[in-house]
């Protein structure tokens, strides 16, 4: 297969990832790369941000290659959602409603607060190809939602994003019960991070430039490990998940080095100094690590932490893009929220 175009992968990580990626997209827009994106693959929290961009795309007003109304159409609605707690109310409502999964309740919340009744076939045909990834719990493979996938009735964007971010076991599964030509009529879906938290597979085989924004959370170090069987099982699952994520990231970096495709990787745990961009925005590691360690939740994020996460995504994306992709780009004047910079995240 011939690879062409520019792909962007947005990782999972709850509201933390949603806001970090929002900052990255903010800088990608300023650099004039937003209309150059041909494919956007998203997972979990990244799918919330990608969905907001997809809904806003027809309304974006590009002057040259920069959308002048990006903050109004994309930033504001995402930040409004970040001011709401969804996970606990969704779980309680799902438990109190027999016959209705928490995944369905999560989809209803996304529909109410962000996406409305937008259907996947309604997504723009002239912009990037949006792919929202979930995990099929029945066969253990990925499930991709995208505009051209034919289903009757058509799937709502809110349902696709809910399936992508249905963190197990509390927010999972999202069940599709409508017949799908050539496939099982009942599909049970869970968070895409169970299979691939970076969303690489939908991009790597198609694009010759691959940009990856990673806001996944590292496994915490434990001083002592539970001796109970359930405790050890949970810890073992965490280790296996961490190993898979590490291997995927290492394989991605190796592909860059070997010239399989060009692009850049940046993560919430990155040290901005490692990109060796002399005029990068100031981002002390102690402060950025605090942001990277923010909870993986769909819980209300204080304004200062929202701004810090957006600023951090903006700054590290800028350093990665100017180091590896667009070396002629001019440096940013300041953070999107200068007064906050990358101050310590509120806990």
Q: Which residues are catalytic?
A: 44, 191
Beta-sheet strands, E only, within 94-184: 129-136, 142-145, 174-176
Instruction: Count H helices and E strands in the chain, helices first.
Output: 11, 10
* Own/partner long-range contacts of 216-220 (Cβ < 8 Å, ≥24 apart): 216/11, 216/12, 216/13, 216/17, 216/245, 216/267, 216/268, 217/13, 217/16, 217/292, 217/293, 217/296, 218/242, 218/269, 218/292, 218/293
The β-bridge relationship of strands 209-214 and 187-191 is unpaired
The β-bridge relationship of strands 187-191 and 62-63 is unpaired
Helix (H, G, I), strand (E, B) or coil at 46: helix
């Amino acid at each position: 297969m011939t690879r062409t175009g520019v792909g962007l992968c947005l990782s999972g990580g709850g509201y933390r990832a949603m806001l970090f990626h929002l900052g990255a997209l903010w800088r990608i827009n300023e650099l004039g790369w937003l209309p150059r994106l041909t494919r956007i693959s998203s997972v979990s929290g990244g799918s919330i941000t990608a969905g907001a961009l997809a809904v806003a795309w027809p309304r974006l007003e590009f002057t040259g290659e920069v959308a002048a109304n990006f903050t109004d159409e994309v930033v504001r609605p995402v930040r409004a959602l970040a001011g709401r707690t969804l996970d606990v109310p969704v779980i309680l409502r799902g438990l109190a409603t027999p016959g209705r999964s928490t995944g369905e309740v999560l989809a209803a919340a996304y529909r109410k607060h962000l996406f409305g009744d937008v259907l996947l076939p309604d997504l723009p045909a002239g912009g990037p190809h949006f792919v929202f990834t979930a995990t099929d719990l029945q066969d253990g493979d990925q499930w991709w939602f995208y505009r051209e996938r034919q289903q009757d009735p058509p799937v709502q964007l809110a349902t696709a994003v809910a399936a992508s971010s249905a963190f197990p076991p509390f927010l999972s599964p999202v069940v599709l019960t409508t017949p799908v030509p050539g496939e099982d009529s009942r599909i049970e879906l869970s968070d895409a991070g169970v299979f691939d938290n970076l969303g690489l597979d939908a991009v790597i085989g198609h694009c010759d430039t691959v940009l990856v924004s990673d806001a996944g959370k590292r496994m915490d170090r434990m001083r002592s490990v539970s001796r109970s069987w359930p405790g050890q099982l949970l810890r073992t699952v965490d280790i296996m998940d961490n190993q898979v994520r590490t291997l995927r990231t290492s394989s991605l970096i190796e592909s860059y080095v070997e010239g399989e495709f060009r692009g850049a990787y940046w993560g919430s745990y990155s040290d901005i100094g490692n990109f060796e961009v002399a005029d990068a925005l100031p981002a002390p590691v102690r402060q950025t690590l605090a942001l990277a360690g923010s909870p993986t939740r769909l819980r209300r994020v204080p304004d200062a932490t929202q701004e810090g996460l957006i600023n951090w995504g903006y700054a590290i994306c800028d350093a990665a893009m100017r180091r590896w992709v667009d070396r002629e780009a001019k440096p940013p004047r300041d953070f999107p929220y200068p007064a906050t910079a990358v101050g310590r995240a509120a806990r």
